[in-house]
Amino acid sequence: MAVPATYVTVRDGKITVAYNRVGGYEILEISVLGPDVVGRFLEAWQQLDPWDEWTDDADSDGGLLVDFDQQVLMMFSTQRGAALRVACLDAVTRTWPGWQVCWAYDGITDLVDYVGGEVSQVRRKRTEPKALYWHDGIERMDLRYVVTIGETQAYGLAWNAVEPWEVGTGLQEQLRPGDRIAAAATMPEAGMHLDPVSLTAGVWSAVRPLRGLSESWPRLWPGWTLLRWDDRGSEQLQRCAGSVAFPLAEPLGRGQFATSVMRTWSFFVAEDFSKNCRKAFLSKKHVKLQREDGWFRAREQTGITRRELSAALEAITRRHWPAPRWPKFDEPHHRR
């Protein structure tokens, strides 16, 4: 399954764009490693799979921009959920000291706009408005969106619903009583609050790109005023007067994110790579086939060291964490 991502590098005034068909999965796991390691990874990827065109916003599941000239890091990913995103953004304040870190709330178009590109070239025309539910079942699955109306109504939406702001003014009529909630155990990926009295709508998103919402808003929600809250779910909680409660951070997110970083990089630690290959593969032919995959080779050629991986894990967890030895991903034991 394709989960496309775009990598953008700005160095010495030169803009380089590269494409990874499955890169949307590991944007956070790459970004957290800091400028030295990320710079080596991007250089390796651009040599292996050069690409000089942008993907459109509907086909972009992740993006990473590193401006070495101005020390700006920009990223987004639809694949890791709100808890891991919070853990990553907390860690990069330590792994990218002195850098400006930005989340691309509008998705790929924020990267295009940053480098002075033409946003209209990547903006896919949508059929508007959309139906809220594309599946009839009412299952209790992982929460994606919370919609609140005034001070009394709250709805939790899962995978069988589209982004609620894409539905337009018919949203309230399509919400189902079976999706009413009073509390959520996990942080949603995004939320929308409607105030029918003032005709004001607030939208925030931790994971789902807004993809031109400000542009399409007048057509979708005529007569309504849009408030964009970036990733501030607290704005919704303040306005719904306690009709629903959900956490704004996940205490377990740091440990989950550290494990994900270990799974992504521990096999490729430079000091252990040859030994890991012998453990994993029965023949040199198999190793050669693996190296034909660009995602495998780029991580190999990055040459991440034990010390660099440990530094990232310690930034995530805020405690000493020696580099793991593949394939052991358990947390290290600490003396109490």
Q: Sheet containing 62-67: give its strands across.
A: 14-20, 5-11, 62-67, 72-77, 100-103
For residue 98, the one-letter residue type is G
pLDDT value of position 123: 85
Distance CA 184, CA 335 (A): 35
Distance CA 203, CA 230 (A): 8
Query: Whole-model pTM above 0.85?
Result: yes
Retrieve residue 140's tokens: 């209790």
pLDDT value of position 327: 83
Distance CA 265, CA 299 (A): 7
Q: 244-268: b or e for each residue (b if 16 or more CB lie within 10 Å)?
A: bebbeebeebbebbbbbbbebbbbb
What domains lie within the chain, and their CATH numbers? Answer: 5-121 (3.30.420), 145-239 (no CATH), 253-317 (no CATH)
Sole residue written with tokens 């890991």? 276
Count Cα neighbours of 256 within 13 Å in the Cβ-side half-sphere. Answer: 14
- 131 and 162 in contact (C-beta within 8 Å)? yes
Q: What is the DSSP letter of 292?
A: T
**CB neighbour class for 162 (10 Å; exposed up to 12, middle 13-18, buried from 19):** middle
Distance CA 180, CA 209 (A): 25
**CB neighbour class for 295 (10 Å; exposed up to 12, middle 13-18, buried from 19):** middle
pLDDT in tens, the chain (336 residues): 688 899 999 999 999 999 888 888 999 999 999 999 999 999 999 888 767 778 887 778 999 999 999 999 999 999 888 889 999 999 999 999 999 999 999 999 999 999 999 988 888 777 678 899 986 655 556 789 999 999 999 999 998 899 999 999 999 999 999 899 999 988 899 999 999 999 999 999 999 999 899 999 999 999 999 999 999 999 999 999 889 999 987 767 899 999 999 999 999 999 999 898 888 764 555 666 566 678 889 999 999 999 999 999 999 999 998 878 888 777 775 433
- 95 and 33 in contact (C-beta within 8 Å)? yes
Distance CA 121, CA 54 (A): 8
- 27 and 36 in contact (C-beta within 8 Å)? no
pLDDT value of position 282: 45
- Return phi, psi of residue 146, to 5°: -120, 125
pLDDT value of position 264: 95
**CB neighbour class for 53 (10 Å; exposed up to 12, middle 13-18, buried from 19):** exposed
Query: What is the separation of C-alpha 207 from the centre of its chain, rounded to a whole number of angstroms?
Result: 5
pLDDT value of position 22: 86
Beta bridge mates, 227: 202
- Greatest Cα pair distance, the chain, in angstroms, is 69
Retrieve residue 260's tokens: 């994900």
Write down how long the chain is.
336
Q: How many Cβ atoms sit within 10 Å of the Cβ of residue 36? A: 11
For residue 168, the one-letter residue type is G
Distance CA 202, CA 200 (A): 7
